Amino acid sequence: MLDVQIEPESVRIDSHFVVSFKRTLRLPEDGTLHKTPPNFGVFPIYRVEEFAGRLPKNWQGERSVFIPMYQREGLYIRFDNEKAWQPYAVKVSIGGINAISGEPQANTLRAEPQDYLVCPPQLWLDGIYTDRGTTRQFLATPLGQGETVEAALSGSENVGGIQLTIFAPKPGTFPENAPETKATLRPTAFGRRRGPETAEMGLAAGAGIKQKVLPDPYGIETWDQNNFAELTVHILNSAQFQSITGLDTPATTINEETYAENGFPWFPLYGETEQGDVSPSDLLAGVKTVGEIDELKNE
């Protein structure tokens, strides 16, 4: 089975496939399809087992962690593979809803339509996949207010957080050592990416971002669906993080000046290639964004 190591700023699979959660700007819902926003560092990762007596019992699990986020803060998921010639298949769910297909979370892969990522060539995911070449930004929001993708598609908010399932390739599919052509296979990064009482948060949809979900270049038969690792990532708001851990909420480097420098309006905190992309989900296409939900509340 896949080896999983939980580190302070990332999760490492088989010592060389690294998943991290990046802090970023909240983009304005102005009808513009934005470029991927800059990276402002990682969200720190904490093991649930280290605070077991202070967290809900249903959070317990060998590979259960949590991260602190401010309300309406933006996040994207980064995938780095130090052995790029040995890719992995990754399913991403938010609140138990597949972020690519809009279907309920399941630990099996589906080819038609494709409901998973292949990393590499996919290096990150900015949000839910709502249309060809388009994702809707991941934004943190408290459970119980009906703003999450989970609420929109399941009618409830009982799961929250992020769920990852990572599948290994079948043995012998890819070489153990880097081939001589490794320079052409190794992916490059897309530039330099720069409240409420409810304890747990989920992810809502935000502004549109230009991003393709790349098709599986190897085929679904490449992946060993009996050899996978699961990771559950809970999200705590800043106040509850302090109360539960006794630690100060990690400071954000994002402020009003940061937004101004990047040409975006201020929101207070409360890999393109020539390849095509997979067919988007009709389910996720209809999910209302945080801005649209706010407008409905104010009517």
Entry pTM:
0.85
Task: Looking at mean pLDDT, say which of 29-38, 246-255, 271-280 comes out highest.
Answer: 29-38
Q: What SS3 state is found at 285?
A: helix
Strand partners, 210: 134
Structural domain of 213: 4-298
Return the ∠ at Cα 182 (arms to 177 and 186), rounded to 5°. 110
> Is residue 44 scored above 70 in pLDDT?
yes
Higher pLDDT, 37 or 129: 129
Say which range, 28-37, 131-140, 212-221, has the weakest mean pLDDT: 28-37
Q: What is the mean pLDDT of the chain?
A: 85
| pLDDT of the residue at 53 | 81
Per-residue pLDDT band for 275 (boundaries 50, 70, 90) equals: low
Q: How far apart are the C-alpha atoms of 51 and 64, rounded to whole Å? A: 11
> Is residue 42 scored above 60 in pLDDT?
yes
Cα-Cα end-to-end distance for the chain:
52
Q: Please give the tally of structural domains in the chain.
A: 1
232 burial (CB, 10 Å; 0-12 / 13-18 / 19+) is buried
Closest CA to 129 of 22, 293, 281, 290: 281
Q: How far apart are the C-alpha atoms of 149 and 166, rounded to whole Å? A: 22
